[in-house]
């Protein structure tokens, strides 16, 4: 598989894509995007750069149609491109961007789809607009789909690692703790990831929950993630 390591190469491809979209339309744009970006080995930061550049020239009314097409290509990079384009829309179309993220996560039906999209949309939203996003996460936490519940933990991991204001970490941990009884393998992975990250960066908050964590209502897998996170906190 051909590898692209150069930002200049990405710039050239993005310029070509802009011309194609303007002059030949959506089908030509998607075909070349697939061949020149998604079928090549490109590091995620370069794909994110490409997505931000594309979001600037794709007309707003067409953006969701284009992300739909990108997601249907089912390449790993599809999640990165669509995720960043949706991320760029959060400030102007929050609800629909979140809804699309959840739609794509369910469509992908794989842990990596959940994590790539979850970090870039739900995680970014939690980091930048926590007051608006925490109520959304509470709703997602009771969703029937395991991937949507998993993404609550993914979002927590991303936002806390990126220095979410500590005042919002407590309600996020409350939410994760409420899911500590889950039995689904994939859900446990996501929720545990978020809990471990909070324990690593905010052991003081974890200390406030000692009794609840020790409760029989809290499954051993959750306590194990907390212990691992606290261990990494002490090594910092």
What token pair was written down for 4?
């692209």
Contact 159, 126 (CB under 8 A): yes
Q: What is the pTM of this model?
A: 0.95
Nearest alpha carbon to residue 195 among 218, 225, 166: 225
Looking at the chain, the whole-number percentage of residues with pLDDT higher than 70 is 99
* Mean pLDDT, rounded, for 5-34: 97
Q: Report helix, strand and coil shares of the chain as percent, to nearest 5.
A: 80, 0, 20
| Greatest C-alpha distance within the chain | 64
3-state secondary structure of 4: strand
* Model confidence pLDDT, tens digit, residues 29-65: 999 999 999 999 999 999 999 999 999 999 999 999 9
Q: What angle do CA 231, 178, 222 make, to 5 degrees?
A: 30
Burial (CB count <10 Å: 0-12, 13-18, 19+), residue 104: buried
pLDDT at 236: 56
Residues 6 or more apart whose Cβ sits within 8 Å of residue 235: none
Q: Is the pLDDT of residue 27 over 90?
A: yes
């Amino acid at each position: 598989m051909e590898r692209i390591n150069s930002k200049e190469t990405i710039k050239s491809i993005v310029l070509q894509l802009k011309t194609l979209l303007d002059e030949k339309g959506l089908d030509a744009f998607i075909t070349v995007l697939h061949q020149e970006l998604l079928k090549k080995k490109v590091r995620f930061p370069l794909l994110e750069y490409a997505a931000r550049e594309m979001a600037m020239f794709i007309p707003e009314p067409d953006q969701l149609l284009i992300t739909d097409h990108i997601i249907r290509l089912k390449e790993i990079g599809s999640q990165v491109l669509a995720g960043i384009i949706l991320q760029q829309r959060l400030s102007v179309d929050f609800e629909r961007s979140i809804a699309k993220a959840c739609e794509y996560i369910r469509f992908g039906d794989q842990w990596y789809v959940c994590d790539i999209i979850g970090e870039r949309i739900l995680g970014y939203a939690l980091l930048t607009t926590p007051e608006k996003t925490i109520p959304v996460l509470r709703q997602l936490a009771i969703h029937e789909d395991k991937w949507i519940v998993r993404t609550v933990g993914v979002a927590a991991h991303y936002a806390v690692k990126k220095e979410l204001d500590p005042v919002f970490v407590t309600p996020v941990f409350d939410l994760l703790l409420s899911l500590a009884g889950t039995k689904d393998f994939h859900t446990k992975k996501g929720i545990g990831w978020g809990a471990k990250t909070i324990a690593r960066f905010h052991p003081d908050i974890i200390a406030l929950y000692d009794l609840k964590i020790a409760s029989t209502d809290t499954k051993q897998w959750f306590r194990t993630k907390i212990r691992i996170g606290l261990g990494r906190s002490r090594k910092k």
